Each structure stands twice: as C-alpha cells, then as structure tokens.
C-alpha cells in the first residue's frame, strides 16, 4: 500500500473535491480518481460516494482518515527531516599535509560553503594512521602509505616544479638557495628524497633554508630570498592573492632535472565508509586547478 495514495485520500477528505485535492498534491484529476480506486481495492472498502454534484465520504472512509492522521504526520516529519538534511552543514574530519592544507583547502571551501571542517596537519604515514584509528574520516595525500584497511581513490594529479623570482635564472642552478621542509619523509621512496618531492636523480647543491611550514618557504621565495619545489597548483593559488611584483614564476629546470610525471592525488578513507559525494567534488575541484 502506497503512502502517497493515503495522502491523496486525506486531501480528498479535506477538500470534498477531487479536482481541488489533485491540485493540492500536484497530480491530475484522472490520476487522483485512479489512486482512490486502487486504494479502495487494497482496503476492501468504499471510501467515497456521490453526494449531489459532489462527493461524500463514507463512514469507513472517515474512520480510515482518522486512523491515517498519525501516519501522515510521521511521514511529514520524515520528509521534512530529509529535506532539512540537504541544507544542514556537513561535518567532516580530514587529515592532510601542508601541500594541500595551504591554499588548496581554503580554495575548496569557497566552493563547498556548507562544509564544516576539522583539519589536522599530518605527514604521509601519519595521515593513514589517523584514518585507521578513527581520529579523522578521510585524508588527502600524494605520498600514500598503503594499509589494507583503507581505500585509496585517485581524485586528480599534479606536476611539481621549481618556483621563485625570475632573477634566479640569471644565476647558475648550483647557487639557487632552496627552502625545503624540515619534516623527514617517513615513507621509503626510490624516486623522491624529501616531502617537497624533489627527485633523487638531481641532487640539490645549495639548501639554504629548512622550514617546517610551506607558507614560510613561499614567503621567503616571493621576497627573492629562496626558491622552492612544490606542485604548480599551489603556486597558482598563491599568486592569485598577490600583486604581480610578488608573484612566483616557474623557473627553468636544470639539465639533470627530468620533467616529472604527473603525481596522483588520493582521497583515503576506511573501507566501508560512506563518503557521499565528497570524492566527486574533490576530483572536480582538482581538475579545475589544471
């Protein structure tokens, strides 16, 4: 038995008019007549009878109307609760590291304004530990530490590069003052030797600064004091808020620095976790940064 047919019958009782009842619930008069006829067959009782030029409600029809009142009230609360949940702020606990928490997350939140977010700064490896322990719901990483209990879904990719003021291209690469992360890479990799994803195949001659925060490296680089290696999308987001004189440029790569392949970005979560539409929204946002 359909709840809609009971709802339609209640509208007929309240209006004593099939056409008005049909308008009230948003269906056609013929559909209303058919729905009432089906409901009568299901219940085994006549619910309506002719009354002059209109219709009347049978005694059994009035009894069913009274009995259905609490059911329809409960249905209304259920339906309104579903609609309200669509507009209710979504709470999300996320772990990632500074490559994504700097600029990326704030730009994403400008698009997803209804998202209430708790963000924990974690390094690769620690991100997975926080997810597995239930401390956070999801993580974003480009340096995955694989765990069997977790799902890894690719949501995009980026190509890292060297960034700084154009003046450094007038100097030999060996003299470029790099700013690199102090945080050690906990995950063994034969391709990169640092959290900033610098390739092992082209050792840096001059590492002048070691900073814990990516934002500090960006600041010293835009002041002309250093250069840094990071994803291009970070610099693009960084540059949007600055005057042209402070924007960072892509610097020509040294001879031994081979152009890196696109680095996948993964959304990580516990197996069986319902992440809703977050995966698609993050993937769409990553694509918009290319």
Structural domain includes residue 258: no
Structural domain includes residue 52: yes
Sign of the alpha-carbon torsion through 188, 189, 192, 193: positive
Q: Which domain holds residue 164?
A: 160-250
- Residues 35, 22: Cα–Cα separation, whole Å: 10
């994403």: which residue's tokens? Answer: 108
Contact criterion met (CB below 8 Å) for 260 and 286: no
Question: What is the model's pTM?
Answer: 0.65
Structural domain includes residue 48: yes
Predicted confidence at residue 47, as pLDDT, reads 87
Predicted confidence at residue 81, as pLDDT, reads 67
Q: Are residues 245 and 164 in the same domain?
A: yes
Average pLDDT over residues 172-183: 92
Q: Which of 38, 59, 87 is the last residue of a domain?
A: 87
Q: Angle at Cα 249 formed by Cα 246 and Cα 252, nearest 5°?
A: 150
Q: Which of 87, 105, 139 is the last residue of a domain?
A: 87
- Residues 58, 50: Cα–Cα separation, whole Å: 10
Structural domain includes residue 256: no
Average pLDDT over all residues of the chain: 86
- Residues 101, 234: Cα–Cα separation, whole Å: 10
Average pLDDT over residues 263-282: 86
β-bridge partners, 181: 211
Q: What is the CATH number of the domain that holds 221?
A: 3.40.190
Q: Are residues 21 and 83 in the same domain?
A: yes
- For a pLDDT cut of 90, what percent of the chain falls above it? 31
Q: What is the CATH number of the domain that holds 63?
A: 1.10.10.10
pLDDT digits 0-9 by tens, 121-156: 998 899 999 999 999 999 999 989 889 999 999 988
For residue 140, the surrounding DSSP H or E stretch is: strand 138-141
> Total domain count for the chain?
3
Q: Single out the residue of 200, 165, 166 nearest to residue 185, CA to CA.
A: 200
DSSP-derived letter for residue 95 is E
Nearby residues of 87 by Cβ (< 8 Å), 6 or more positions away: 114
Q: Are residues 148 and 284 in the same domain?
A: yes
Q: What is the CATH number of the domain that holds 110?
A: 3.40.190.10
Average pLDDT over residues 188-200: 80
Given the DSSP bridges, would you call strands 150-158 and 263-270 parallel, antiparallel or unpaired? antiparallel
Which residue has better confidence, 222 or 83?
222
Which residue has better confidence, 78 or 108?
108
């Amino acid at each position: 038995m359909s709840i809609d047919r009971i709802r339609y019958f209640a509208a007929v009782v309240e209006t004593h008019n099939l056409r008005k009842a049909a308008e009230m619930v948003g269906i056609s008069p013929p559909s209303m007549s058919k729905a009432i006829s089906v409901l009568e067959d299901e219940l085994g009782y006549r619910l309506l009878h002719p009354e002059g030029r209109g219709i009347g409600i049978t005694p059994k029809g009035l009894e069913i109307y009274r009995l259905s009142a609490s059911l329809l009230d409960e249905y209304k609360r259920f339906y309104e609760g579903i609609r309200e949940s669509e507009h209710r702020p979504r709470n999300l606990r996320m772990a990632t590291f500074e490559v994504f928490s700097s600029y990326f997350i704030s730009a994403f939140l400008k698009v997803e304004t209804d998202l209430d977010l708790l963000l924990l700064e974690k390094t690769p490896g620690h991100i997975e530990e926080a997810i597995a322990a239930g401390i956070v719901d999801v993580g974003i990483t480009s340096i995955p530490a694989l765990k069997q209990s977790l799902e890894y879904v690719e949501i995009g990719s980026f190509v890292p590069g060297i960034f700084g003021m154009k003046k450094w291209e007038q100097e030999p690469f060996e003299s470029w003052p790099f700013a690199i992360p102090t945080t050690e890479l906990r995950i063994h990799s034969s391709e990169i030797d640092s959290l900033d994803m610098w390739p092992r195949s082209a050792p840096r001659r001059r590492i002048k600064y070691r900073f814990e925060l990516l934002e500090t490296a960006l600041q010293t680089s835009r002041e002309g004091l250093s250069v840094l290696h990071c994803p291009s999308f970070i610099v693009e987001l960084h540059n949007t808020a600055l005057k042209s004189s402070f924007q960072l440029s892509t610097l020509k790569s040294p001879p031994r620095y081979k152009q890196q392949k696109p680095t996948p970005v993964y959304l990580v979560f516990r197996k069986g976790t319902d992440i809703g539409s977050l995966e698609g929204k993050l993937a769409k946002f990553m694509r918009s940064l290319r």
